[in-house]
Amino acid sequence: MSETGEEVQDADALRQALKEARAEVETVRREMAGASAKQEKLLRTHEEALDRVRQAGDREVIAAELRAEAIRYGAHNPEDVVRLIDASDVVRDADGRVQGVAEAVERARKDRAYLFGEMSRAGVATGTTAGRSAPRPGGGEPFDARRANGADYEARKWQFLAQG
């Protein structure tokens, strides 16, 4: 009979251990579900913040492109042009390039001509700002045989004689 009593106690102890293990597993599952929900919420929050930052960056890049194009088109005040322009067609593609800027500024120039003066040209002074003319291709400085070392002098002499 003692064997049966021990077996009953062992079975009761096993049942109690199993019940405790199941309760512990259920507690861990609830904690995991809570952690998973918290992680998903954080992920959504971070994605929303990243999306807001990207949109703000895109707006700034588009505004800078519009400002530069307005200056090129001769805007009196490029900031006003950027504020008043219809930039709904101006987009930034996946590669980071801004498209539709020239068309939007051209449309604004036609619709609101009072915001623009003459287009700036290279080498023309406008107001207090002077544009520089484009560099001209040409030869280098003239060769001074008196200041050249022996090797340079010989090389130039042979080039001159080879020209005929």
Q: What are the φ and ψ backbone dihedral angles of 115, each rounded to 5 degrees?
A: -80, -10
126: which strand partners?
A: 129
What DSSP state is assigned to residue 125?
A: E
Read off the pLDDT of residues 1-34 as tens digits, 9 standing for 90 and up.
Answer: 456 667 778 888 889 999 999 999 999 999 999 9
Within 10 angstroms of residue 127's Cβ, the number of other Cβ atoms is 7
d(CA 128, CA 105): 24
Read off the pLDDT of residues 108-156 as tens digits, 9 standing for 90 and up.
Answer: 888 888 888 876 565 555 555 666 677 777 777 788 888 889 999 999 8
**Domain positions in the chain:** 2-121
d(CA 144, CA 134): 27
* CA angle centred on 23, ends 18 and 27, rounded to 5°: 145
What DSSP state is assigned to residue 149?
A: -
